[in-house]
Structure 1
Amino acid sequence: MTGTISRGRGLLATMTLIVVCSGVVQGYLTPLLPVVGRHIGLSGVGQNNLYLLSQLAFAVLTPLLSRWGDIHGHRRLLRVAVAMVAAGSLLIAVRPTTATLAVGMTLQGAVVGFFPLLAGILRSRAPERGRTGMSVLVGALLLSIGVGGLAAGSLSEEHASAGLWTAVPFALLALAAALALPDSTTRRAGRFNTAAATLLTVGLGALVLVLAQGGTWGWSSAPTLATVAVAVVALVLWVRVEQHSAHPLVDVRLLRNARLAVISAHTFCAAFGTIGFLGANAVFLGAHRDGNGYGQGLGSQDIALISLAMVVAGCAGSTATPRLARLIGDRATLATGGGVGTAGFTSLVFFHASLPQYLAGALVVGVATGMFEAVTRTLSVEVVDDAETALSVGINELALSLGAAIGAAVIGALFAAHPAAGGGIAPAGYLWAWAACAAVALAGAVIGLLFKGGAAPATASTPTLMTTSGEAA
């Protein structure tokens, strides 16, 4: 069977099935969280913490799956990743509880490996279709994120948990497609750096935990200070291990390239708000004004429609970005994207009383999402030598996952610090969250002004490549 799809349209069509599963998984739970949360007794803070957990899984699994793919084969790890997603989706659908949602969403975090591993297969099996193929796959991903949310929202209108089955058939189709794909012809090389993987996982877990729980524990309490110490020590040791390793998990030495460092910092700031805010967006839209003093009281289907509208706005921003870069230059485009994000979140701070007001700000945030994803993924390829392309994109993807996870954690901490009298989140919690996202987006705009154009540097190639590519959150 694999011989019939080893090249051409059959290969691309099979990959598209897998990418559609990725999009559905990333999009279907967000509009369901308010309804399912009420069904299982989960508060707004708890709903945001579940979203935070999924973003943490993205951050940890991004380098792990990519590196394992380089060592053990892209097809093998793709099958493992799809199987993890299928198992997580089925677990959530069969028995929706707080615990199963947490475990299932963690397993679903393996979607972050789909694009890197598919890119490795596409690059080696059909290099002539590389640029066109990736464009098709990205388009399918973005559209399926919105459509997946809409389908889940429609199903949940009949029963709160019915929408949780949305991802199951797509995951099973993706698993069949992964079994049919050929393997990449890229030479397998290197060893897995267990020490680096352990330190990165512990460091990120401790960092996100303290950001999410520091307000509850008390910022000067012993548990908070101890967790901060664990995070700092683990991440510092991780950087040192990576710098001295012949087989790095993430080659942080590439950040000596000033342009890549600027791009990655901008990506972190942009993802902090635009992606970190998505869980909070659903909670706000689903909250009933009578009981909470804020929100729009929307059902899952209406929330899914707004999420789809934000995805469409993101597609528009992504499509317009290359032309904008030709007109005003890469540095100005980076700064403009940060400025658009700042404008969107600032609008939410001042104008959120009615749905049209809120939607206007949310759509601007959607445009900013598409802009930063398009420009940073393009530039992260162009600012390094050809031999370092995959490593460079991998660092940028890690910055995106970290920004989203830390953004969700900060938003969750601000929510927890402003509880409503009768439960839920007080309006001040949202005002502070939107203001924080606006401030970090503004920092991203300023960082973008530090970018300097020019030809890609002719740096020495490194012995280990982490095959990764753009993955939308």
Structure 2
Amino acid sequence: MSRSRAPLAGVVGALVVVEATSGVLQGYYTPLLSDVARHLGIHDADVNWFEASQLLLSAIVVPLLARLGDMIGHRKVLIGSLIVTAAASWGVAFAPSFWLFTLLWALQGFYVVWLPMNVSIIHARARKHPNTAELTSKGAGLIVVALQAGAIGGALVAGQLGGLIPLHLTLAVPAVLVTVALLVVILKVEDPGVRAGGRVDSSGTVLLSLSLLAITGGLALARVNGFTLWVWAMVLVGAALMWWFVQVERRKDDPVIDMHLITRPTLWPVILTSALFGVSVLGAQGPLSTFAGTDPTEVGYGLGLDSASRSYLIGAYVLSLLVGAGLYARISKALQPRRVLIAAATLVGAGYLLLVPLHGGVPTVTALMIVAGLGSGALVAALPATAAAAAPPHQTGVATGLTNTTKTLGGAFASAVFALALANGVDSETTTAASLSGYQTVWAICGVTAFVAVGALLTVPKVAFTSADPDARGLDESPEALALEAVGHDVVVSDAKVVRSEESPDPEQEGGR
């Protein structure tokens, strides 16, 4: 590896530790949830509140933390979120009551900002090189591979430790890893120096938080009682607050989310794809697991797999995500990121739509989930990287954070809709299995939303997300900008004007570049 790439390799190596830890947090606890329920003396259904609380918090904090990352530094926000997650993880290990456990579990949701911050840090470091987009894609692919590997390893290790040592010690393992990741970032990740400055948009932040709280809170309640009048009321209130938020932000000079940014022709399709992708990547794994465990001799459909065999099926799917993420950077270098995004979304759509008629055997279902998983893995790596490439240098945190926020909202909506679809047509007095039509509805929705994303991505300019893309260089192509660039001066481009820099300092040492 050339000397010029060595600093980037070093920071990516450190961030690999962070994302592997994020993967552990996402995969480690799942095999232990029944034990946690017994320990806290709660019903298995109450476990859903853990995910609901974390979903609520993460949807609210990511936009604010992403904006703070652009303002005060992505490394600082990464360290702060690691501290909160570490404290919450230690608390989860020793929490004595359900409500305290739920609160601490929600605070663990600060880890969702790690990926946007990590990609922003990589992008800032990569801007020193002429092949910024390629290096960002490669770095994003590596840390997402680490994330998926951490999820697989976490689930396997938790399953082995669960019956060997006391539960509180088993739950302390993620806390130890988060603490190690915090130390790695403090010691090994230098501040890239990119700052946007400005101030926190307090009114916009409040409106956005209330809107997301109403929408995700309503969807969380829908998972419990269905789409009742109260659920619809909360969602409609949230939508109204979101409309108000957009109107307020359009008039702000320093908004928490720049509406002009997300309407860029290279960025809005990425944000929309993130929301649509959240439907399958966050909403469909539960139905896959329950379908695999349904006994076909009783209801005429399902795979009839025991827990161990189901873990192999889920493992094959997660492993395909890892492979897809690992291949993303290499393939996008040869085919351009836009084409890879379109191909990845097509794989997701094809995999799920083919499940609607072809779900009768383990080999077929496994093969189709691997197809969908390859596309999903590529999208997990591609979406934050392409959002960073499509945004100005001082707004990469907001852009990458939006991919996580919209993905979370897509997953929340899908979880509620899927719960109702699976319950439709079921006689709860004779069976606990979900209906076949419900599963087919789930797969059809996942497939259709993926192909809607393909349609949106087809509108993206062909040079998007590459070093040839003006957005990837933080420049526009106005005659004045090109003239100044040609004589060797730095150019700072805003929506209103082009400003000439007097000294042309290193962009990583200047805020707002």
Is 1:317–1:369's contact at 8 Å kept on the other side of the alignment?
Answer: yes
Q: Are 1:461 and 2:494 counterparts?
A: yes
In 2, the alpha carbon distance for the partners of 1:257 and 1:348 equals 35
The answer to whether the aligner puts 1:243 opposite 2:250 as a matched pair is yes
Of the three residues 425, 443, 446, the one matched with 1:434 is: 443
Correspondence for 2:149: 143
Q: 1:285 to 1:51 in 2, by over 3 A?
A: farther
Question: Could you tell me which residue of structure 2 aligns to residue 336 of structure 1?
Answer: 343
Question: Which protein has the larger Cα radius of gyration, Structure 1 or Structure 2?
Answer: 2
- Return the offset for 1:191: 1.2
In the aligned structure 2, how far is the partner of 1:33 from the partner of 1:192? Answer: 38
Mean Cα displacement is larger for which, 379-388 or 322-331?
A: 322-331
1:102 match: 102
**CA deviation map 1:278-327 (0-9, x unaligned):** 3444555567789998575543x665554443232123223444565577
- Corresponding residue for 2:206? 198
Q: What stretches of structure 2 of length at least 5 have no aligned partner?
A: 1-6, 130-134, 464-468, 477-492, 497-507, 509-513
Opposite residue 456 of structure 1, the aligned amino acid is P
Superposed, 1:34-49 pairs within 5 Å as 42-43=43-44, 47=47
- Counterpart of 2:218 in structure 1 is 210
Aligned residues: 456
- Unaligned ranges ≥5, structure 1: 1-6, 468-473
- After TM superposition, the structure 1 = structure 2 runs for residues 290-439 of structure 1, keeping only pairs within 5 Å, are 296=304, 298-299=306-307, 305-321=312-328, 333-352=340-359, 354-384=361-391, 388-415=395-422, 420-421=428-429, 424=432, 426-428=434-436, 429-439=438-448
Output the CA distance in 2 between the equivalents of 1:280 and 1:92. 27
Q: Using a 3 Å threshold, how does the CA distance of structure 1 residues 100 and 403 change in structure 2: closer, same or farther? A: same
Give 1:72 deviation, angstroms. Answer: 4.5
**Cα distance in structure 1, aligned partners of 2:430 and 2:419:** 18
- 1:405 aligned partner, one-letter code: A
- Cα distance, 1:62 vs structure 2: 1.8
Aligned to 2:466: none
Q: Once structures 1 and 2 are overlaid, which stretch shifts more, 310-319 or 129-138? A: 129-138
Aligned to 1:451, the other structure's residue is in SS state coil
Query: Does structure 1 conserve the Cα–Cα contact (< 8 Å) formed by 2:70 and 2:398?
Result: no
Q: Does the C-alpha gap of structure 1 residues 295 and 111 become closer, same or farther in structure 2, counting only changes over 3 Å?
A: farther
Alpha-carbon spacing, 1:275–1:126, altered in 2? closer, same or farther (3 Å): same
User: 2:112 is matched with which residue?
Assistant: 112
**Residue 58 of structure 2 aligns to which amino acid in structure 1?**
F
TM-score (norm 2): 0.74
In the TM superposition, residue 273 of structure 1 has moved relative to its aligned partner by 0.8
Which residue of the partner structure matches residue 80 of structure 1? 80
Over 3 Å counting, the alpha-carbon distance change for 1:128 and 1:53 in structure 2 is same
Q: 1:186 aligns with which of 183, 187, 194?
A: 194
The aligned residue for residue 17 of structure 2 is: 17
Residue 502 of structure 2 corresponds to which residue in structure 1?
none
Provide Cα deviations, 1:407-450, integer angstroms capped at 9, x if missing partner: 23332343455664368552344333233222222322333333
Alignment of 1:214-225 (within 5 A): 214=222, 219=227, 222-225=229-232
Structure 1's 198 and 422: CA in aligned 2 closer, same or farther, altered over 3 A? farther
| Aligned counterparts of 2:123 and 2:442: Cα–Cα separation in 1 | 41
Task: Between 66-75 and 252-261, report the one with greater CA deviation.
Answer: 66-75
Q: For residues 368 and 51 of structure 1, do their structure 2 counterparts lie closer, same or farther at Cα, with a shift above 3 Å needed?
A: farther
Q: Is the contact made by 1:331 and 1:450 (CA closer than 8 Å) also made in structure 2? A: no
Contact 1:263 1:380 survives alignment (8 Å): yes
Alignment counterpart, residue 156 of structure 1, candidates 140, 150, 162? 162
Deviation string, structure 1 residues 216-272 (Cα, Å, up to 9, x no partner) = 6564x5423421331121111121222222222222221332232122222221221
Deviations 1:125-172 (A, max 9, x none): 797697465554333223222211221222235589575444122122
Amino acid at match of 2:152: G
What amino acid is the match of 2:435? P
Q: Distance in 2 between matches of 1:177 and 1:267?
A: 29
Residues in 2 aligned to 1:277 and 1:101: alpha-carbon distance in whole angstroms: 26
Q: 1:382 to 1:431 in 2, by over 3 A?
A: same
Matched residue SS, 1:452: coil
Q: 2: CA distance between counterparts of 1:291 and 1:54?
A: 36
The answer (yes or no) to whether the contact 2:8–2:122 under 8 Å persists in 1 is: no
Q: Which amino acid aligns with 1:241?
A: V
Return the structure number with greater relative CO, CA threshold 8 A, min gap 6: 1
Hey, what does 1:64 align to over in structure 2?
64
